[in-house]
């Protein structure tokens, strides 16, 4: 089976640390890192992890195998070498440019079929912007690299899945951007993604925009003019979509996948707060709509703890969300094999 590519993320953040910790813990599948092997070697020594960093020219036979061992090999596709004086825990344009190039190479490998999925370590958006790469985040960048395909952000953990109609927009802009067509497209992308993940008949709950889903127009007409018509369009195409549901109760009804397999949320915080409240350690960000599987941890670069050690000399960053992202990528891409 083809390996998974793991991008280094912003090298000034916790990406290098959590990647190395994930390898040391034992990966659930074959993987390669897209990044700087010299930086990873220095980080492995700092963390005193029994890891051997290997620079490789291509994925495939060089990928690390699943499981842990007394000494684990970390294969790295060398991409954009980094200066040794790069500051840890601070915004740096050089780090932002490197993070962009790691993502671009991993996406290229996925579209060529050399890897079966991409897992991205966290990036810092300001560092990305300082380097001249003006994207709101991973989702929009990957959509462009894949040919400007329509994509959506799904957040998932073991209790809840949510998909966002609008993503990285100011709330006022998000409300102005909503439309029947955009909501309908989100429902369709969600349906297709869950079917591809093995759910034969996804149950999709669609949240309203306003309190009590508008209360019949008393608190706004978005549900009447946009959300309900989009749901009707989806149902006419055979999609099991329902709503608009009151946003303050629909996530509870979907928790544990009891009544629904996923909730379509109208804007960023409406959908992300419930997932993150249930626990960030196993939360995973999944980009749906791409021609390849992409997942990431549900946290940021954590500059405040990057490079820091506890009293026992261990790094402070927690690798569990990254491992969860690798597991999701493995499951979602399990059918993508060598030709």
Give the domain extent around 59: 1-148+292-339
- Statement to judge: residues 172 and 122 lie in one domain: no
- Statement to judge: residues 18 and 134 lie in one domain: yes
**Domain end residue (candidates: 248, 278, 308):** 278
- As a whole number, the mean pLDDT across the chain is 92
**Domain end residue (candidates: 278, 305, 328):** 278
- Statement to judge: residues 165 and 235 lie in one domain: yes
Please indicate, yes or no, if residue 9 is contained in any of the structural domains. Answer: yes
Is a pLDDT exceeding 50 seen at residue 23?
Answer: yes
- Statement to judge: residues 173 and 41 lie in one domain: no
Please indicate, yes or no, if residue 228 is contained in any of the structural domains. Answer: yes
- Statement to judge: residues 313 and 185 lie in one domain: no
- Statement to judge: residues 44 and 186 lie in one domain: no
- Statement to judge: residues 137 and 190 lie in one domain: no
Is a pLDDT exceeding 60 seen at residue 195?
Answer: yes
Please indicate, yes or no, if residue 183 is contained in any of the structural domains. Answer: yes
Count of domains for the chain? 2
pLDDT by residue (tens digit) across 240-253? 999 999 999 999 99
Please indicate, yes or no, if residue 284 is contained in any of the structural domains. Answer: no
- Statement to judge: residues 96 and 19 lie in one domain: yes
Q: Are 106 and 98 in contact (CB under 8 A)?
A: no
**Domain end residue (candidates: 252, 278, 304):** 278
- Statement to judge: residues 53 and 9 lie in one domain: yes
Which tops the pLDDT comparison, 228 or 277?
228
The pLDDT of residue 227: 98
Q: What percent of the chain has pLDDT over 70?
A: 95
Is a pLDDT exceeding 90 seen at residue 196?
Answer: no
- Statement to judge: residues 234 and 104 lie in one domain: no
Please indicate, yes or no, if residue 169 is contained in any of the structural domains. Answer: yes
Provide the CATH number for the domain around residue 26.
3.40.718.10
- Statement to judge: residues 130 and 173 lie in one domain: no
Please indicate, yes or no, if residue 285 is contained in any of the structural domains. Answer: no
- Statement to judge: residues 61 and 27 lie in one domain: yes
Please indicate, yes or no, if residue 153 is contained in any of the structural domains. Answer: no
Please indicate, yes or no, if residue 312 is contained in any of the structural domains. Answer: yes
């Amino acid at each position: 089976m083809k390996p998974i590519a793991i991008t280094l993320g912003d090298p000034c953040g916790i990406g290098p640390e959590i990647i190395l910790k994930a390898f040391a813990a034992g990966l659930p599948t074959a993987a390669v890192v897209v990044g700087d092997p010299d930086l990873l070697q220095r980080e492995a020594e700092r963390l005193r992890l029994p890891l051997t960093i290997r620079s490789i020219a291509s994925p495939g036979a060089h990928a690390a195998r699943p499981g842990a061992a007394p000494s684990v090999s970390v294969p790295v596709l060398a991409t954009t070498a980094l200066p040794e004086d790069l500051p840890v825990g601070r915004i740096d344009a050089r780090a932002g440019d490197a993070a962009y190039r790691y993502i671009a190479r991993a996406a290229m490998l996925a579209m060529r079929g050399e890897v079966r999925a991409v897992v991205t370590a966290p990036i810092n958006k300001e560092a990305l912007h300082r380097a001249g790469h003006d994207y709101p985040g991973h989702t929009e960048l990957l959509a462009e690299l894949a040919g400007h395909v329509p994509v959506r952000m799904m957040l998932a953990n073991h209790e809840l899945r949510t998909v966002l109609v609008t993503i990285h927009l100011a709330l006022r802009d998000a409300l102005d951007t909503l439309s029947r067509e955009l909501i309908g497209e989100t429902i369709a992308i969600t349906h297709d993604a869950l079917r591809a993940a093995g759910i034969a008949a996804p149950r999709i709950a669609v949240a309203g925009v306003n309190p009590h889903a508008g209360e019949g127009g008393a608190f706004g007409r978005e549900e009447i003019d946009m959300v309900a018509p989009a749901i009707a369009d989806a149902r006419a195409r055979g999609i099991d979509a329902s709503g608009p549901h009151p946003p303050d109760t629909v996530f509870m009804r979907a928790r544990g996948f009891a009544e629904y397999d996923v909730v379509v949320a109208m804007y960023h915080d409406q959908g992300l707060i419930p997932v993150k409240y249930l626990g960030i350690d196993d939360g995973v960000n999944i980009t749906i709509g791409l021609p390849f599987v992409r997942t990431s941890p549900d946290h940021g670069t954590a500059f405040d703890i990057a490079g820091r050690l506890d009293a026992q000399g261990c790094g402070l960053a927690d690798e569990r969300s990254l491992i969860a992202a690798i597991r999701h990528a493995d499951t979602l891409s399990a059918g993508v094999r060598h030709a």
